[in-house]
Structure 1
Amino acid sequence: MFYSHQYKGLRFPIQCVWLKLNGSWPLSPTSKEKSRRDESVLGNSYLATAYIIWAWYVIASVGITISYQTGFLIKNLSDIIITTENCCSTFMGVLNFVRLIHLRLNQRKFRDLIKHFSYEIWIPDSSENSIAAECRKRMVTFSIMTALLSCLIIMYCVMPLVELFFGPELDPQDRPFPYKMVFPYNANKSWIGYVLTYMFTSYAGICVVTTLFAEDSLFGFFITYTCGQFQLLHERIDNLFTESNEDDEQMQLKRLKGIVEKHNNIIRFAHRLEDFFNPILLVNLMISSVLICMVGFQIITGKNMFIGDYVKFIIYISSAISQLYVLCENGDALIKQSTLTAQILYGCQWEISGQFKPGSDKSNSKNIRNHLWFMILCSQQPVRITAFKFSTLSLQSFTAILSTSMSYFTLLRSVYFDDEKKHN
């Protein structure tokens, strides 16, 4: 049922299992789709239909939970401490609500991206080179990010239960929930209503966090192996004129054409990758600066806060910064590897090759020079991933977002202390 291209033993990160559980993974196209290329119907299979219904249920549950949180936010808008605390979880919910809708509405693009990656980018683990091992090693950072975010959602879901069963006795109307929310009904009227509401909102939060780290891991997986392909391309360029007979210009030209074709395929995949992910990246970068600011504000200004809340917010800001850094660092690596191609081309010892010797085939020599020049010209334009062309995913963007967060934090802190002085 799930679309899974097995070319060259392709293995996706284990985090992608959550995209399948949350209803975001594309299904295999039906025979009707293959003949008509009509993506409006994903098949007559009962399992496929049930999966689509489940996907929209997950989206609806996240949207409903966000509306409950927004209600609480509006109700307590005058209290800056409560507002900033609630904004942390609400904004993260909004970010991943957008992600879930984007993934659901772009299933065909998702399948095409996987297909192109399978054929052109994936480096099998069985390859006899160190680049595949290096790519696997780089994916460890996403496992660390996954662990941080998993700890965060566990604390959100478990801490209210600890407070309920091991804390001081609470009034039935004050039973805690995973997040601060206002309901259109009395969720504490009975134990059954409380348990069902708790489970509903908790699972919505789990879907939010798992979608976040699963999609980021997949995005990092694509970029990591794209950088690996650039490294393999650089090795082929280095050996272009040194491995073959220097007088065999025809063979050199054939190998150079293969390198040009591979270079174009890598660039095309990077453009597909940007086209698919840039709406999500735009929302991510916009919200990240606000999230980091508000979590930092909670840590600095929180009074009489339970130790578990401090730990929760420290994990929150650590995961937010690490998630942003990992994405920007991968984007920066792609820029560096793509622009390095021009330098590798210029230093590939073309000056000692046979195409410049007297008596050589002039047409082959000219073709080789033209291919080299055009590739150098193309490589001078970096391959980059942007957030809808507003910002480039790079370490420079990472520092800019942190700087913006610090500016917001300073403003928010000054407003808070000015209010305290007025009340005192």
Structure 2
Amino acid sequence: MFYSHQYKSLRFPIQCVWLKLNGSWPLSPTSTEKRSEPFFGKSFFATAYTIWAWYVIASVGITISYQTAFLIKNLSDIIITTENCCTTFMGVLNFVRLIHLRLNQQKFRELIKHFYYEVWIPDSSKNNVAAECRKRMITFSIMTALLSCLIIMYCVMPLVEIVFGPELDPQDRPFPYKMVFPYNANKSWISYVLTYIFTSYAGICVVTTLFAEDSLFGFFITYTCGQFQLLHERIDKLFTEHNENDEQMQLERLKGIVQKQNNIIRFANRLEDFFNPILLVNLLISSVLICMVGFQIITGKNMFIGDYVKFIIYISSAISQLYVLCENGDALIKQSTLTAQILYSCQWEVPARIQPHSRKSTGKDNIRNHLWFMILCSQQPVRITAFKFSTLSLQSFTAILSTSMSYFTLLRSVYIDDEKKHG
């Protein structure tokens, strides 16, 4: 049913299971494109899956609208506003992600196909690069653990407050997030429980989509960097294996290297084309999120200890999520530009190999021309951008943190002035 089942050796990160549960994973083309299937055949499951996907999107959108209503209602209170903005903005970010994934199923399938045939390094290859790629994916497991703790705390803490806290008025029973409903959600236990489950699962979909899609994005970039490393190994061996005077053999091997480099670059361009709308929204919202969570930690008064822990986990996960993405983008830039250095150092200039004045120098001239062209192309780094507005790199990470600090300083000065007026 799900696309990529035919790629037996392809192992996606375990986090991608959540993309399937949330309705974001593309189905096999035969499930959605063949109209000859009976209704109770594959097309029935595809239709049910599509309905479920839109239900998840709708539930997230409805929950965000409840949070936005609360935000508008309490806009004059800077503490409540900043606290509510944290969950609302994260919901908006992943609401955009869910819609983007749902509307680009065909591009998603093509990206997986291109990855499998040109970039994936199977575990059966048993080389150091494949092992290093698997090791780099551990950072996404850490990020997943942080975000999982965050959503668990949001969903569980209100229940802990009800059970172990002071007795509450039925109309004041808490929900996972601050919300205003168009109906009385506390009218009865049934309406409270159903609303609680509905909004909690929407939050779970938000967080799981966040770490699942980021893990998939990091997975693609990690193995793209791995392919650049394998390419560098092939370049190093270009003039050291086989007969060094066998010009035709060297030329054929060099053409294969050129073709492989072009395939890797094409995949990176397709990867950027698919993810750059999401990355743009992510970078724009991240600076605001980090600022507001930090503001809550610094200025929060009479805050329950669980809320402090929640916000510390929140800011830790937000910063780590941003860092991991930017670090992977930076690694891709470094590996792609390193290709030019590797090409220049592959001993192409040894006279026994390149003899421009020889009568039979046609093959050597071709080799040298190919090398020059590859060096020229490799000087232009392969990079992932956020809709061309910003490049995913460690420089972008520091710039976003700097922007967050500027927002925090401004927000804190406004808060202090407001306190003085009411003091």
TM, length-normalised to structure 1: 0.96
Map of 2:80 onto structure 1: 82
- SS of alignment partner, residue 260 of structure 1: helix
Give the whole-Å Cα distance in 1 for the aligned partners of 2:186 and 2:302.
26
Q: Which residue of 2 aligns with 1:38?
A: none
RMSD: 1.4
How far residue 27 of structure 1 moved from its aligned partner, in angstroms, is: 0.4
Q: Which residue matches 1:40?
A: none
Alignment CA distance shift 1:349-1:415 (3 Å): same
Q: Which one-letter code corresponds to 1:13 in the other structure? A: P
CA distance in 1, matches of 2:219, 2:32: 31
Could you say which residue in structure 2 is the equivalent of 1:386? Answer: 385
Counterpart for residue 397 of structure 1: 396
Give identity over the alignment, percent. 89
Tell whether 2:278 aligns with 1:296. no
Distance 1:244 1:120 in 2: 26
Residue 29 of structure 2 aligns to a residue whose secondary structure is: coil
Distance 1:360 1:251 in 2: 19
- 1:23 to 2:37 alignment: no
The whole-number CA distance in structure 2 between the counterparts of 1:193 and 1:332 is 49
Q: Runs of 5+ in structure 1 lacking a partner? A: 36-42
> Which of 346, 368, 381 is the matching residue for 2:344?
346
Deviation at 1:165, TM superposition (A): 1.1
Deviations 1:298-338 (A, max 9, x none): 00000000000000000000000000000000000000000
Measure the CA separation in 1 of the matches of 2:330 and 2:289. 23
C-alpha separation in 2, matches of 1:265 and 1:337: 15
1:200-249 superposed Cα distances (whole Å, 9 cap, x missing partner): 00000000000000000000000000000000000000000011211100
Q: Distance in 1 between matches of 2:201 and 2:178?
A: 15
User: Residues 31 and 171 of structure 1: is their aligned pair in 2 closer, same or farther, counting only changes over 3 Å?
Assistant: closer
Please state whether the residue corresponding to 1:383 is helix, strand or coil: coil
Equivalent of 2:127 in 126, 129, 140:
129
Per-residue deviation at 1:30? Answer: 1.9
**How many residue pairs are counted as aligned between the two chains?**
417
Q: Is the 8 A contact 2:386 2:392 kept in 1?
A: yes
> What is aligned with 1:365?
364
8 A Cα contact 1:328 1:398, kept in partner: yes
Gaps of 5+ in 2: 36-40
Q: Could you say if the C-alpha distance between residues 215 and 360 of structure 1 is closer, same or farther in structure 2, counting changes exceeding 3 Å?
A: farther
> Which residue matches 1:311?
309
Match for 1:330 among 309, 328, 331?
Answer: 328
Q: For the residues of structure 2 that align with 1:266 and 1:45, how far apart are their CA atoms?
A: 35
Alpha-carbon shift at residue 128 of structure 1 (Å) = 3.1
Instruction: Please state if 1:193 is matched with 2:191.
Output: yes
Q: TM-score scaled to structure 2, two decimals?
A: 0.97
Aligned to 2:144: 146
Alpha-carbon distance in 1 for matches of 2:32, 2:170: 55
The answer as to whether partners of 2:32 and 2:46 remain within 8 angstroms in 1 is no
Distance 2:44 2:247 in 1: 59
In 1, Cα distance between the equivalents of 2:98 and 2:338? 36
Partner of 2:281: 283
CA offset at residue 54 of structure 1? 0.1
Retained in 2: the 8 A contact 1:355–1:364?
no
Q: Is the 8 A contact 1:5 1:115 kept in 2?
A: no
Secondary structure at the aligned position of 2:123 is classed as: coil
Return the offset for 1:351. 1.4
d(CA) in 2 for partners of 1:318 and 1:191? 35
Deviation of the 1:361 alpha carbon: 3.0
C-alpha deviations, 1:76-97, integer Å up to 9, x for none? Answer: 0000000000000000000000
Local SS of the residue matching 1:356 = coil
Cα deviation digits, residues 162-190 of structure 1 (max 9, x gap): 00111000000000000000000000000
Q: Would you say the 8 A contact 1:248–1:354 is kept in 2?
A: no
- Which residue type is aligned with residue 264 of structure 1? N
**Paired residues for 1:146-295 under 5 Å:** 146-295=144-293
Shift of 1:367: 1.3
Summarize the Cα distance change of 1:343–1:34 in structure 2 as closer, same or farther, 3 Å threshold. farther
The residue identity in structure 1 corresponding to 2:138 is V
Q: Which amino acid aligns with 2:44?
A: Y
CA distance, structure 1, for counterparts of residue 193 and residue 32 of structure 2 = 44
Matching residue of 1:94 = 92
Name the CA distance, whole Å, in 1 between partners of 2:358 and 2:71. 80
CA contact (8 A) 2:16 2:212 kept: yes
354-363 vs 291-300, greater mean Cα deviation: 354-363
> Cα offset for 1:126?
1.5
Q: 1:142 to 1:176 in 2, by over 3 A?
A: same
What whole-Å deviation, never above 9, does each CA across 1:332-391 have from its counterpart, x for those lacking one?
000000000000000000112524276463221121111101100100000000000000
Deviation at 1:291, TM superposition (A): 0.1
Q: Does the CA-based 8 Å contact 2:13-2:216 persist in structure 1?
A: yes
Give the conservation status (yes or no) of the 8 Å contact 1:332–1:395. Answer: yes
Maintained 8 Å contact 2:336/2:378: yes
Q: Is the 8 A contact 2:337 2:380 kept in 1?
A: yes
Distance change (3 Å), C-alpha of 1:32 and 1:160: closer
Per the alignment, in what secondary structure is the counterpart of residue 9 of structure 1? coil
